[in-house]
Structure formats: structure tokens, C-alpha cells
Amino acid sequence: MRGPVTATNDFVVKFANVNGSGSASANQLFAKAILRMGIPIASRNIFPSNIQGLPTWFEVRVSGEGYLGRRGGVDLMVAMNPQTWERDVAEIDPGGYLFYDSTRPVPQSRFREDVHVIGVPLTAMCNAAYTDARQRQLFKNIMYVGALSALLQIDPAVVETLLSEQYKGKEKLAKPNQEAFQMGRDWALANLPCPLGLTLERADKVGDRIYVDGNSAAGLGAVYGGATVCAWYPITPSTSLAEGFERYAKKFRTDPDGRKRYAIVQAEDELASIGIVIGAAWNGARAFTATSGPGISLMQEFVGLSYFAEIPSVIFDVQRAGPSTGMPTRTQQSDVLAAAYASHGDTKHVVLLPEDPHECFAFGADAFDIADRLQQPVFVLLDLDIGMNDWLCEPFAWDDSRRMDRGKVMTAEELEAGRVFGRYLDADGDGIPYRTYPGTHPSKGAFFTRGTSRDRFAKYTEVGAAYVDNMQRLLQKFETAKGIVPRPVLRQAAEPTRTGVIYYGSSSAAMREALSALEAEGIHVDALRIRAFPFHQEVERFVADHDQVFVVEQNRDAQLRTLLMNECGIVPQQLIPVLHYDGTPITARFIRAAIGDKVLAQILPFAGAAAE
Amino acid sequence: MSFLPKPKLHHPKLPTNALGYTRRDYEGAISTLCAGCGHDSISAAIIQACFELDIEPHRVAKMSGIGCSSKTPDYFLGASHGFNSVHGRMPSVLTGANLANRELLYLGVSGDGDSASIGFGQFAHSIRRGVNMAYIVENNGVYGLTKGQFSATSDKGSKAKKGTVNTDEAIDLVGIALQLGATYVARSFSGDKDQLVPLIKGAMRHDGPAFIDCISPCVAFNNHEGSTKSYDFVREHNEAMNRLDVITSRAPITADYAPGEVREVEQHDGSILRLRKLHAEYDPTDRVAAMHHLHERKAAGEIVTGLLFIDPDPRDLHANLGTVARPLNRLGDALLVPGAAALEAINTGLR
Ligand SMILES: Cc1ncc(C[n+]2csc(CCOP(=O)(O)OP(=O)(O)O)c2C)c(N)n1
Ligand code: SF4
Ligand SMILES: [Mg+2]
């Protein structure tokens, strides 16, 4: 038998639970305790699309090096769900550990030879300690955290602090949790060889970073961005974004008399959601909606209106897999093209691609300035991985001297002073016209908004030349957008190289780790993280400067690659897709293998031959 | 800073309203609809109503969907911002606009296809949400702009111009509006300006969801024998429940009425709806009775018109949401952005 895996501050723990069993808060406690010991972690929920009864997993990546993507593989499986036992046991890396509830005997055949087994009679202990069925269930979870604290050397004082923080004002609840934790811990110390090969050691690697989910961060960003109208329709994984906005708006935007400086409408569907956003934005409020792929599909017609009528709208799309239920509670980056080219007619839109909750907040606020400045829809593409998981990231930052940039809005004073107002007139040569809010002036500045068929002064016309004139101006505006959206971020390899990689969004954390691993193998790759569409000139330059560029994405059809070829005129052979789309977040091992193996083999096959 | 309205120069003899505007100041672009189209009469009634109410044109936002009817906002209130949105979705756009600035008057114009077919859901939800608006459906029973297909308000048995008979049940938007809580519900006929103008005035002065179903014949596709939305058919079957006068403080009471013939309802904003009863037993403040009456008279083949329901004390969406009195679109950074210190406190809570 292979010796047990040994590692300090660098391993993967996966919890296999039953949905709705109360395991989530115990698993959170486990994760946060490690963070408080100054050790970076990345945690991810993998959950079914129902509320109770189905399997759910929680994966904690402990990384003293600060790698926050999924690594791939599992060193310690906490197998609390008999339903998924087989696959959970199978997933453990050779030499890894299996932690299970040993109350009922498990036949030897159901274990693995190359895995170290740790049994704790959790159910028996709970049944002995508690009479209430709900308590037996809930405290079993805390109890395994207690046992793990002994096995992995989690500082019990940290857990105590966390519990007292969590139950501040409800001390009655803190005590029994504390006791259950201690019970599990004591049992392990008395009956098991502690610690395991996997250990935790206090470090100082977390710094001032925060641990938060991207949806809350984006919702907070919308508050800081000055959004006052939110219209949405519930859909996983975006629901908690609207809820985050509501939570923070309630906290920061409630007048002393209880009245709200914001309005949230849970609309009847996504068509109404985006309609409300467009109406509000037309009338001078900052407005947004939060949705996922199916909602984006429904919003298509209105997005076109927002583009052609030049009305700022902000759409947060927390991407998920395919239609209907099931897979949709898994992550993907599969709405890139749907967002970039949303709607009928010739349209293209600004798309922002945050890499983590820090950027969800920043882009969440910036999106409103960008939308107002450009007077068009702005998509902010999150995905389930960033949106619904807690990520360790840089703290949120704000400059108090910053003011909302409402773009080109002509005021009553300017109209009164005789400034020429043409709603679709390119007065400044940047393709962006001036607008007026309804009710501005009694006799000047009013106009009739329509999708198309108007001249520069918003007068009705069906003349072809006027249509072309308008469409050309919209293209000019798209050029202007390149200078307004976030620029790409370059990470140069240690040595000069003709190989590059382009990536974006939530792949970023795994990418960083893969790049280090590749570098250790002597494979040097320059990396460019794209943060927005339209692409900055730098993107074209980057591709031109390399012989072949991998494009790492979490979708089947290499959507960003398509966009790059289409918008930058790049030959397909130059862009090699690396595609991960099984619904789980991409891993560092996957990227490393996909790029490393191809580079080493000196075969760089083209499209379709995606890695693995 | 405030700006004095500068009325256009017109013939000096044209009558002016309290703001010094003439009726022409409420007009818009030249209509491109067919000569004789009912929709043009409704535009004229809207112009008349706004003129008589001394409304500042720029304080009105006129919204519509797509259709001949939805084109009409271009043809009235030229000094107002207008929004010709997408087919069937005017209600959501209007809802958003209203959320952004509760101080303007919102006039939604739609068609029967726009509101009863593709936009049935949005129509219903805007009413049940209590959006403060005057919502007018210019109801001709067909899709005018796409050349005469039946719409969802076409009566069962009604005959299309080419002879097909409609076999589907008609949606009665007045019935739906009543059921979903509209607080001002009326039906009228584009051919009866005397009835329509006061109904529009009452709706514009109503502080809640006001709905008017205005039958508006399409001369191009639905004005023939066998249609139930033709000028002739509507004139023959029109049964008015009452006659409305909208009295703002400026207009003194002049006419004499017999006792019990008149009922006055005061609206939130102080305007008085004076109803001259044409059916003694009809009580427009009783929602359930109104619904019942409507069904009964419909079965008898009548088209019931007039002010069918009024709740003088409505609540609107802003009241339901508890938003501040100041329009959301006028809140600046200080009121919206919590600032760096608050953010640092959030950061601390996330460590
Ligand atoms: C999504 C969409 N589908 C179809 C159309 C085509 N269309 C334009 S107007 C119209 C019907 C309008 O009927 P109605 O609302 O009754 O207005 P009317 O012309 O009769 O006044 C249709 C189907 C469209 N503009 N948009
Ligand atoms: S087609 Fe019918 S609805 Fe359209 S303008 Fe002509 S008469 Fe009016
Ligand atoms: Mg119609």
C-alpha cells in the first residue's frame, strides 16, 4: 500500500453531503477557520437544482501558495452521503484519506486499498448526546468539523471565536455548537492518530483579503454604482445578486422614516425585467437586471432596442450550463456570444468579464458609468463559480472623490442657452450623441424615441442613407468604447516565448496555478487576461506577437475564440482552443495538461480537438 | 432654475388655457394613419383633454408599443418625450419610467394586439402592480399595421374583411382590468368625443392605474358588415352607463340636474368627477357589481361604455414599494453611494 499523502497547507478536502441537511454552515465554519489561521483557501459548492435530499459537495482547496482555482483531485474525502459513496471513494487521489461515519459497519470491499480510512461514529455519538432529531442531524455536522480540527490541526480557539461571532446576540446557540465541536474533537484526539499526514500550520498569507461571493459583490457594486432601479426574475445562479443588492440597498439607502432610495421589482418574467430597466434608464435612473442564460435569451428583442435607441442598461448574467433544470446549477462560460451579439439586426455590445468577487464589485459599479457614457447595454458576465462561491480576493476599494459619470446629458440650462440638440447627432466626433431626460424643458429637448427610422434630430424617416448614417455612427461609438472598457492584463513569462494564452473570468485562478506549473516544467507561456469586449488593440498585438495562442474557456464552442477571430481578423490556426465544459469549474491540472502536453508534443492541433 | 414656457405664436384669437397655451401647443407631427381611422380621433381627444386640464406638455411621458395605435404618440403632445418601444412591452417600459420619476404624468397608448395578444401578460401585471398611469387601448379588434388579422379582442363570430369568422373567445380588457385591481376603468368609443375627452381627463388626474378601453374602428380592415368593431355596429350597440364631467377648481358648476341624477366623486388630487347617471342602478364605486353588470350586458349584446369603476382613494406602486418622495432619477452621489468608510466596514465583516 502506498504511503499516506503528506502535505502542509497544500491539499484538497471535499465534503460529500445531502442537500438540506444543514451541512453548509458546518462546512463554512471549517473553511473560515483555516482562513483565520492565515492560510489561503478556495471553496466551491457543487449542488443540485433542488432544495432537499439530493447530493451536494463542498470542496476546500487549501493553498499556502495562494492558488485559488480548482486544483483537481481530492486528498481527503469527508463522505457523509451513502448515496454517492462509490463515486466519492473513487475520486480520492492514491494515498489520500477517507473520513466516514463508522456507526454502521461498512464491508471491506467498499473501501479502497490505496486510501487511508478514518472512521468516526458520528451518528452513534449524536444519538447518545441528543434526543431531538433535528439536533442530531445539525450537530453531527459540527461534530465532524471537531474531529477534522484534531486530525488537521485546526486551532480550536479560532473556531470558538468564529462561533461566538456567528451567534453574536444569540449566545444560547453558540454554546451547544461549541460543545458538539468539542465532542468530535475529543473523540478524535482519544481514538485516532492525530494529526494525519495533512496538516495546517498558522501562516500569514491571507493578508487583508476578504472572503465573499461574487453575486453579493456585484450587488454591492450596483449600490456603489448608483443604481436605483432593479428589476429581475428569479433564476439560479443569479438570484443572490438581486438579493445582495436588496440587502445592501436596505442597509445604506433607507431614509430615517423608512422610505427607500431604490426600487426593486420582481417582474413577471425577464422580458418585463429588461423593459423596466430600459424605461427607468430612458427616464434618467440607473437601472439593472440580473439573470442567467435563459433570461438572456428572452431579453434579446429589448437588448436590441436598448442598443438602437441608445439607452443605457446594465445586465448581470451569471452564466450556467444548458437549458432546463439539472445541469443549470453547474457553471459555464457559455453566454459570451449570446451577450456580445445579442438581438436582431446589426448589434454588438459591451461585455465585462470579472475574474473574482473583487472585480465583480468594481465592474458592477463601473458598468453604470460605462453604460451612461456609451448609452447602450452593458453586460457583466459572471458565472456560477464566481457568483455563488465564496472567494478569497482583494478587499473592495472605493475613492470618495469619485462621482457618477452620467455621460452626455443636456441640461435645461444648456438648452435654454441655445445649444443645438440632436438626439442622434454626433456633436463630438466620438459617435456618442447627447440625450435629455423627459421633463427637462418646456419647449426644447423633447424627442420621440424609436428603435430605428429617424434622422440625427430624431425625426421620423425611412430614408436608407439616414439609416446607414446612424449605423456608421454606432460603429464609431463602438470604437470609442475600446478606450472606455477595462483593459486586458498581461502576465509575461519568465523567458521570451512565441506561445501565448488568452483567458478570462473565473478561469483566472486555475490559470495562474497552471502557468506556474508550466513554468516549473520549463514551458514558458505569455498570458493575457481579457476583461472586456470590445477588444482593446493590445489583444490584437498580443496575438500577432505569438505563433500560437491558446484560448482557455469553459464552454464547448470556443466562444471567445470565435469573437477574437471575428472581430480581430485572426486566422483560426493561430488560436488553439482549450475547453472545459462538464459543469464543474476548470482546474489547474486540466489547463496544465492541455497546454503542456501539446507544447511538449509540438503538435498544435486546431479547433475541435479540445483537450480531453 | 425654472423656465417660463414660451408658447408658439398662433392666431391671436385662438383660445388659451391657464398656462397660456393654445390647443395647437398640444399637437404633434402630422398623422400618417388612414383617413377616418379611429385612432386619429383618440389623438384629438388626448390633445383636447390635456389642453383643458392645463397640463404642461413636457411633464407628460407618452409611451407605446408597436402598431398603428402605438404610432399615434408621435401625433400629439409634440413637446413631450415619447417612447415607441417594442410590440406588447409598453407596460414594462412605462413601469420603469414611472419608477425613475414619479412626478411626471405617464400616458400609455397601445392597441388590442399590443395589449391583449402579445402583451397580455405585461398589461395584466402593470395593472396589478398599481402603476400610476393612464393606459389607453385603441381597440379595433384587428392588427391594423400587419393588415387585418384578428386580434384577441375580436368577438367570437365576428367576420374578417375577407370573410373568415373568428372562432376564438374574445378577451375583454375592461373585465381583466377590473379583476386585477385597476382603480379607474372606463370604456369609450373613438366616435364619441364628448364621452371620451372627460374620461381621458379623469384618467390623467387619477393617481393610480387608470385604464380606458377605447373602441376605435379600423377603416382599412375592420369596418365592414359582420364586424363588431365597425362604426355602425358600435353606434348601434353602445350603452353608456353615465356621462362624466371632470371639474378642476377652475371650472365653476353651471348646469342644473335633477335630484339623484348626479353623483360626484372627489379624486386624490382634488379634481371632481361629476357623473350624470344614465342607468340609475349602476354604481361605479362597486367593483364586484361593475363586473357583474358588465357580464350581464355583454350577454345581452350591449357594449357598455362610460366610467365603469372608480376608486377615489387608490394606492400606487411607489406606495407599495415605499420609495422616497423625491424622484429616484434626481438622487445624487451623496444619497446613493455609501462611500469608502462604509465599504471598509463591509471588508472587515468579510475577513
Ligand atoms: C415581436 C413582434 N412580432 C410581430 C410584430 C409585427 N406587428 C407589428 S404591429 C402588430 C399588430 C398590431 O396590432 P394592434 O396592437 O392591435 O395595433 P393596430 O395596428 O391595430 O392599432 C404586429 C403583429 C412586431 N412588430 N414585433
Ligand atoms: S390600418 Fe386600420 S388601424 Fe391602421 S391606420 Fe389604417 S385604419 Fe387605422
Ligand atoms: Mg388593433
Q: Is residue B39 part of a domain?
A: yes
Give me the percent of chain A exceeding a pLDDT of 70. Answer: 96
Site to probe by mutation for ligand 2, drawn from B32, B39, B229 as the one with most ligand atoms within 8 Å of Cβ, is B39
Which of A210, A255, A282 lies closest to B97 in CB terms? A282
Average pLDDT score over residue span A353-379: 98
Which of A275, A278, A396 lies closest to B347 in CB terms? A396
Residue nearest to atom 11 of ligand 1 (CA): B143
Q: Do A460 and B29 touch (CB under 8 A)?
A: yes
pLDDT of residue A609: 39
| Cα(A560) to centroid(ligand 3), Å | 44
Which of B58, B97, B325 lies closest to A446 in CB terms? B58
Q: Please write the tens of the pLDDT for every residue from A394-415.
A: 999 999 999 999 999 999 999 9
Partner A contacted by B9 (CB < 8 A): no
The angle subtended at Cα A44 by Cα A38 and Cα A45, nearest 5°, is 135
Average pLDDT score over residue span A348-356: 98
pLDDT of residue A52: 65
Q: Please write the tens of the pLDDT for every residue from A213-222.
A: 999 999 999 9
User: What is the maximum alpha-carbon separation in chain B?
Assistant: 78
pLDDT at A496 over 60: yes
What is the DSSP code (8-state) at residue A294? H
CA distance B183 to chain A (A): 20
pLDDT of residue A287: 98
Which residues, numbered 282 to 301 in chain B, qualify as contacts with chain A under a Cβ-Cβ cut-off of 8 Å? none
The rounded mean pLDDT for chain A is 94
| Cα(A296) to centroid(ligand 3), Å | 29
CA distance B257 to chain A (A): 40
Ranking A54-58, A325-329, B306-310 by mean pLDDT, the lowest is: A325-329
Q: Do B96 and A441 touch (CB under 8 A)?
A: no
**Model confidence at B250, in pLDDT bands (50, 70, 90)?**
low
Q: Do A272 and B3 touch (CB under 8 A)?
A: no
pLDDT at A48 over 70: no
Provide CB contacts within 8 A for A122, sequence distance 6+. A101, A102, A103, A140, A143, A144, A147, A184
Residue A432 near residue A408 (C-beta atoms within 8 A) = yes
**Model confidence at A605, in pLDDT bands (50, 70, 90)?**
very low
Sheet holding A229-232, edge to edge: A263-266, A229-232, A287-291, A313-319, A377-383, A350-352, A532-533
What is the DSSP code (8-state) at residue B31? P
| Cα(B22) to centroid(ligand 1), Å | 34
Peptide bond preceding A377: is omega within 30 degrees of 0, i.e. cis? Answer: no
Q: Please write the tens of the pLDDT for every residue from A541-569.
A: 999 999 999 999 999 999 999 999 999 99
Q: Is residue B4 part of a domain?
A: no
Site to probe by mutation for ligand 1, drawn from B41, B146, B216, B218 as the one with most ligand atoms within 8 Å of Cβ, is B146
Q: Do A305 and B86 touch (CB under 8 A)?
A: yes
User: What is the maximum alpha-carbon separation in chain A?
Assistant: 89
Q: How large is the angle between the packed helices A156-166 and A133-152, nearest 10 degrees? A: 140
Best mutation site among B3, B24, B317 for testing chain A: the one with the most A CBs within 10 Å? B3
Ranking A185-189, A581-585, B58-62 by mean pLDDT, the lowest is: A581-585
pLDDT at B253 over 70: no
A529: Cα separation from own chain's centroid:
15
The string of DSSP codes covering A43-80 is EEEE--SSSSSSEEEEEEEEETT---SB--SEEEEEE-
Cβ of residue B86 lying under 6 Å from some atom of ligand 2:
no
| Cα dihedral value A436, A442, A447, A449, nearest 10 | 70
Distance CA B20, CA B22 (A): 7
Classify A566 in phi/psi space as left (phi over 0), alpha (psi -120 to 50) or beta.
alpha
Average pLDDT score over residue span B99-123: 98
pLDDT at B7 over 80: no
Q: Is B319 exposed, middle or buried (0-12, 13-18, 19+ CB in 10 A)?
A: middle
Q: Please write the tens of the pLDDT for every residue from A222-259.
A: 999 999 999 999 998 999 999 999 999 999 999 999 99
Q: How many residues are present in chain B? A: 351
The rounded mean pLDDT for chain B is 94
Average pLDDT score over residue span A449-467: 94
Sketch out chain A's domains with CATH numbers: 7-199 (3.40.920.10), 212-393 (3.40.50.970), 410-486 (no CATH), 489-601 (3.40.50.920)
pLDDT of residue A99: 98
Using CA atoms, how far residue A523 sits from A307, A605, B296, in Å, is 44, 18, 84
pLDDT of residue A323: 77
Average pLDDT score over residue span A503-513: 96
Q: Which residues of B touch A343 (CB under 8 A)?
A: none
Provide CB contacts within 8 A for A422, sequence distance 6+. A433, A434, A456, A457, A458
Partner A contacted by B55 (CB < 8 A): no
Average pLDDT score over residue span A29-34: 96
Distance CA B199, CA B148 (A): 28
Domain count, chain B: 1
Average pLDDT score over residue span A345-374: 98
Distance CA A260, CA A283 (A): 19
Residue B35 near residue A471 (C-beta atoms within 8 A) = no
Which of B79, B321, B330 lies closest to A442 in CB terms? B79
Regarding beta strands A198-199 and A7-8, do their DSSP bridges make them parallel or antiparallel, or are they unpaired?
parallel
Partner A contacted by B328 (CB < 8 A): yes
Partner A contacted by B320 (CB < 8 A): no
pLDDT of residue A322: 77
Residue A386 near residue A356 (C-beta atoms within 8 A) = yes
Residue B326 near residue B261 (C-beta atoms within 8 A) = no
pLDDT at A532 over 60: yes
The angle subtended at Cα A486 by Cα A483 and Cα A487, nearest 5°, is 75
Distance CA A487, CA B15 (A): 61
Q: Is residue B287 part of a domain?
A: yes
Average pLDDT score over residue span A477-489: 98
**Model confidence at A144, in pLDDT bands (50, 70, 90)?**
very high
Distance CA B134, CA B202 (A): 9
pLDDT at A51 over 70: no
Whole-prediction pTM value?
0.94
Residue B43 near residue B56 (C-beta atoms within 8 A) = no
What is the CATH number for B304? 3.40.50.970
Average pLDDT score over residue span A340-356: 97
What is the DSSP code (8-state) at residue B16? B
Distance CA A380, CA A367 (A): 7
CA distance B180 to chain A (A): 14
- Which amino acid is residue B169, in one-letter code? E
pLDDT at A96 over 50: yes
Q: Is residue B347 part of a domain?
A: no
pLDDT of residue A250: 98
Q: Do A264 and B104 touch (CB under 8 A)?
A: no
**Model confidence at A452, in pLDDT bands (50, 70, 90)?**
confident
Provide CB contacts within 8 A for A82, sequence distance 6+. none
Q: Is residue B12 part of a domain?
A: no
Residue B73 near residue B302 (C-beta atoms within 8 A) = no
pLDDT at A122 over 90: yes
**Model confidence at A208, in pLDDT bands (50, 70, 90)?**
very high
Q: Which residues of B touch A392 (CB under 8 A)?
A: none
Average pLDDT score over residue span A41-46: 90
CA distance A69 to chain B (A): 19
Site to probe by mutation for ligand 2, drawn from B30, B34, B110 as the one with most ligand atoms within 8 Å of Cβ, is B34
Q: Is residue B3 part of a domain?
A: no
Q: Is residue B290 part of a domain?
A: yes
Cβ of residue B42 lying under 6 Å from some atom of ligand 2:
no
Q: Is residue B52 part of a domain?
A: yes
Partner A contacted by B331 (CB < 8 A): yes
Q: Please write the tens of the pLDDT for every residue from B137-170.
A: 999 999 999 999 999 999 999 999 999 999 999 9
pLDDT of residue A602: 66
Q: Do B95 and A275 touch (CB under 8 A)?
A: yes
Residue nearest to atom 8 of ligand 1 (CA): B67
Q: Which residues of A touch B91 (CB under 8 A)?
A: 272, 275
What is the chain B residue with the closest CA to A34? Answer: B351
pLDDT of residue A53: 72
User: Measuring from each residue's beta carbon to the nearest atom of ligand 1, which residues come in under 6 Å?
Assistant: B 66-69, 87, 111-114, 138, 140, 142-146, 151
Residue B62 near residue B82 (C-beta atoms within 8 A) = yes
Sequence-ordered strand ranges (E) for A193-303: 198-199, 210-213, 229-232, 263-266, 287-291
| Structural domain boundaries, residue B114 | 23-330
Q: Which residues of A touch B121 (CB under 8 A)?
A: 268-269, 272
